[in-house]
Amino acid sequence: MRYALVTAARSRSEAEAYLPDNYRVIHEAVFGPEDGRTLRPTFVIEGVDRAGWTLDGYVIPRYASGLIGCQEIDLSHPIMREIPS
């Protein structure tokens, strides 16, 4: 299983629109930037690479094409503690 953090998507539906069927949004959190004035949604996605539908080769570049940030994380990332089991 692979996990990634998606930033700059305006909504959950926008975050989901960029994903192939083998990846899904599993968590949404709201964070403020360091200035504390504007809140922005952040999403955690999970999935399994299948054929050409991979995190590195498809998901991350697809988000980048929409100017949405996406970076792989692992289970030690602090946001993973917020996800209910």
What is the pLDDT at residue 37? 61
What is the pLDDT at residue 84? 85
**Exposed e or buried b per residue across 19-29, where buried means at least 16 C-beta atoms within 10 angstroms of its C-beta:** bbebbebebee
Q: Are 63 and 57 in contact (CB under 8 A)?
A: no
The low-confidence residues of the chain, meaning pLDDT below 70, are 32-38
What is the pLDDT at residue 18? 97
What is the pLDDT at residue 30? 82
What is the pLDDT at residue 34? 60
What is the pLDDT at residue 15? 97
What is the pLDDT at residue 63? 98
Q: Which structural domains are found in the chain, ordered by start?
A: 2-82 (3.30.70)
The two tokens of residue 82 are 């917020």
Which residue's structure tokens are 């929409």? Answer: 66
